[in-house]
Amino acid sequence: MLVLAVPMALEMVGESIFAVVDAFFISRLGPAALASAGLTETALDLVYAVAIGFSFAVTAVVSRRCGEKDRRGAARTAVQAIGLGVVVSVVLGALGVWFAGDILRLMGAEAETVAVGTTHARIMYAGMATILLLFLNNAILRGAGDAQAAMRALWLSNGINIVLDPLLIFGIGPFPELGLPGAAVATTIGRGTGVLYQLHVLTRGARLRIRRADIVRDWPVLRNLGRVSVGGIGQMLADMLPWILLIRIISSFGTIAVAGWVIAIRIALFVILPCWGLSNAASTLVGQNLGAGKPERAERAVWITAGWNMLFMGAVTGLFVGFAPRLAGIFTTDPEVLGIAAAALRIVAYGYVLYALGMVMRQAFNGAGDTRTPTWIDLICFWAIEIPLAWMLSRTALGVEGAFWAVAIAYSLSAVVSWLWFRRGKWKLHQV
């Protein structure tokens, strides 16, 4: 667990550092720029849903083939996943570029936010392939047990982005001053570099190596990936689409509310993403141990991972509850934005220990190839409970803070339901 979890957690640390640094520099351009970047990123949640949901299937199938000692089957699965990712990203990217301004308006952006952020949004959507392939290639590497390479890919891409961000946003030295679009250019260059590194590893690696003979269309493998990924994509859509509706509710309180929420979420990602990395170890271990015919060992790995994850998030809860204003103050001096960001940090953090448990349970199901169970849990907890609750609470004296309470309640409930379902053990019998 440690051999897999440490590099996976460090992989997500790189991603979380990127999110925080990106918000830090963009916040210097004002609330409108920060709100625009946040709305664009939220709209991209649809792409992340497809990428992450499909990556669940890729990790499950690759890890199962590796557990069966079928390395060529794992390589063929990788090729089909990459090819499908390229096709999907081209279609979605073209739509995003064409409708960038309309998407921002649909998200509830005010006129100033749309004017500031449309070019930034177009560049982000044009780089859609780098988003999808970065997720998919790392899913392949994790499924093969090469968590170190996945970690290095994200650290490389995020390191480049962190360096280029201030240079392109503010025009330091010989670099042009691009403002908010500069952040999108930096992000796309960084992610693109990470993808090139991943492809190098996949064609030269020791754990899984794609050969020329593997680069053919394989309909049975594609159908199997499609069958397994339906639940994963549905799961992530059920999880991420409510975030779009949630920020639509928050945007009804104005640009200041959106800016405060964006700051809070970027800080929260700083700890949540490494915990996702730790949870990914459970996914790989479940897939490989089920493939090797050791279901009890798979279950034990899940409980060990959950324990460490909950211990870490318990410590983070104390930090966020006690120092929320100071943490938010790193990004803004605007008292209104600061107040909303601090309130969001505190409220969401109350459920962190349960979130940690829920993350591991979800990834355990995904590692077994049972992507449908988390989908149904998400539909109930986030669609039937979170969004209606957010709307109702935000219309009370709580105001925008009511939406934050809805997030804490829904994610805590999701964790409890996932834990109860995991204990039934039906995931051990799932075939991929």
- Provide the residue-wise pLDDT of the chain in tens; the chain has 432 residues: 777 777 777 777 776 677 778 888 888 888 888 888 888 887 787 787 788 888 878 888 888 888 888 888 888 888 999 998 899 889 989 998 999 888 888 877 778 888 888 999 999 999 999 989 998 999 899 888 888 888 899 889 989 999 999 999 999 989 999 999 999 999 999 999 999 999 999 988 767 888 888 888 888 888 888 888 887 788 778 877 888 889 889 988 988 998 899 899 888 877 787 787 788 888 888 888 888 888 899 899 999 999 999 999 999 999 999 999 999 998 888 899 999 999 999 999 999 999 999 999 988 998 888 878 888 998 899 999 999 999 999 999 999 999 999 999 999 999 999 999 999 888 887 766
CA gap 195, 198 in Å, rounded = 5
CA gap 39, 144 in Å, rounded = 35
CA gap 296, 221 in Å, rounded = 28
Q: Note the pLDDT tens digit of each residue in 58-97.
A: 888 888 888 888 888 888 888 999 998 899 889 989 998 9
pTM of the model as a whole: 0.73
CA gap 276, 291 in Å, rounded = 23
**Please, what is the end-to-end C-alpha distance for the chain in angstroms?**
22
Sign for the CA dihedral angle at 224, 242, 132, 358 comes to: negative
Tell me how far CA of residue 184 lies from CA of 36, 123, 131, 168, in angstroms. 12, 6, 12, 9
Dihedral over alpha carbons 218, 224, 228, 234 (to 10 degrees): 60
One-character DSSP codes across 81-108: HHHHHHHHHHHHHHHHHHTHHHHHHHTT
DSSP E strands in 159-232: the ranges are: none
Whole-number CA gyration radius for the chain: 21
Tell me how far CA of residue 210 lies from CA of 143, 149, 205, 216, in angstroms. 14, 15, 8, 11
Q: Note the pLDDT tens digit of each residue in 112-123.
A: 888 888 999 999
Q: What is the DSSP-derived secondary structure letter of residue 306? A: H
Helices and strands per DSSP (H, E), number in the chain: 17, 0
